[in-house]
Amino acid sequence: MARIYNFSAGPAILPEEVLKEAAEEMLDYRGSGMSVMEMSHRSKLYDTLLKEAEADLRELMEIPDNYKVLFLQGGASQQFAMIPMNLMKNGKADYIVTGQWAKKAYEEAAKYGTAVKLASSEDETYAYIPDCSDLPVSEDADYVYICENNTIYGTKYKKLPNTKGKVLVSDVSSCFLSEPVNVSDYGVIFGGVQKNVGPAGVVIVIIREDLITEEVLPGTPTMLQYKIHADHGSLYNTPPTYGIYICGKVFQWLKKMGGLSAIQKINQEKAAILYEYLDSSRLFKGTVRKEDRSLMNVPFLIGNMELEDKFIKEAKAAGLENLKGHRSVGGMRASIYNAMPIEGVRALVSFMKKFEEENLAE
């Protein structure tokens, strides 16, 4: 059995240790004689598992007591509707559009109220993060919305926007648990876990308690009300039980690695290897403004589609897979999430160097 280096943007690489543990427990979880997949979500054993997962996440992110942690379904995309349905009390929200995911959220919100495009980087194919230090935030905005790490374009907010006192809502799908965060700076932090935390099927919402109310837009389905899920401790209906179990294992893995400051250091080290090479390469070039570069998703180009196809093909043959860029950017993208070992990044860069030598003269 040979594992590849998987640079997919999501669903994405998971820690090998976690997968091995899950394999060992597949038929018999902690002496229960069954798999977690087969277990009632109302059982004592599952309740313990869920509570441990939440406690570990709270510890990792230092989540204050006045925030709820919800394990939900529907992916990050369902939050694009759930957020306005639950939070648009004045019927207005401001959106900073830094990529396709933010744009989708903005367009969805416009179905439920007035969505204001506060700033955008669409003019340069989202290759930068706009200056958000003094934006004309709407006086009656219920919240300001951002996508903190732009998976497709490889940009990341290095400084949160000045929301002028308004609630900040952030999609962290592709930077979840990649570095320490100050949860109190946000009203809502949410992310689909399939990028950096676990298998597809779970979305985690961290939400300040005062934002969880019964006052939601008329017609909001029960399943799309934060209050229902908060009141039932994420057990209103059957949660994505197995996915949460894997997330819990990833939380424990992160704790063993030394927590979020430790993983941030490793992530910085990994990204630096790739960016330093891109800055010195005569064949490849990065697509993002330097100060806005993501530590997680690294898009790069050759600028010659034929050579790019050749690169992706030969990389795959060398065990470096899923390097094709998103169709809206083209070129290549290496997603180097928490679980990507530094050896994977080194292997990618030495492959790129070799490819550069072989193809530059042509």
Ligand X SMILES: *Cc1c(COP(=O)(O)O)cnc(C)c1O
Footprint of ligand X on this chain (CB under 6 A)?
A: 10, 75-77, 101, 147, 151, 171, 173-174, 192, 195
φ, ψ of residue 64 to 5 degrees: the values are: -65, 155
Nearer to ligand X, 154 or 344 (CB): 154
Nearer to ligand X, 77 or 220 (CB): 77
Is 101 one of the annotated active-site residues of the chain?
Answer: yes
Tokens of 209: 């308690």
Full DSSP string of 78-92: HHHHHHHHHH-SSSE
Shortest spacing between CB 156 and ligand X, in angstroms: 11
Residues 152 and 99: beta-carbon distance below 8 Å:
yes
Is 195 one of the annotated active-site residues of the chain?
Answer: yes
Residues 86 and 225: beta-carbon distance below 8 Å:
yes
Shortest spacing between CB 332 and ligand X, in angstroms: 17
Catalytic residue selected from 56, 94, 142, 171: 171
Catalytic residue selected from 92, 156, 166, 195: 195
Nearer to ligand X, 81 or 119 (CB): 81
Q: Alpha-carbon distance 159 to 23, whole Å?
A: 40
Shortest spacing between CB 314 and ligand X, in angstroms: 27
Shortest spacing between CB 152 and ligand X, in angstroms: 7
Residues 185 and 168: beta-carbon distance below 8 Å:
yes
Is 285 one of the annotated active-site residues of the chain?
Answer: no
| Torsion sign across C-alpha atoms 193, 196, 198, 204 | negative
Taking CA atoms, 142 is separated from 60, 85, 166, 334, in Å, by 29, 11, 7, 36
Catalytic residue selected from 101, 142, 156, 253: 101
Tokens of 98: 């830094």
Nearer to ligand X, 281 or 335 (CB): 335
- As annotated, the active-site residues are 101, 171, 195
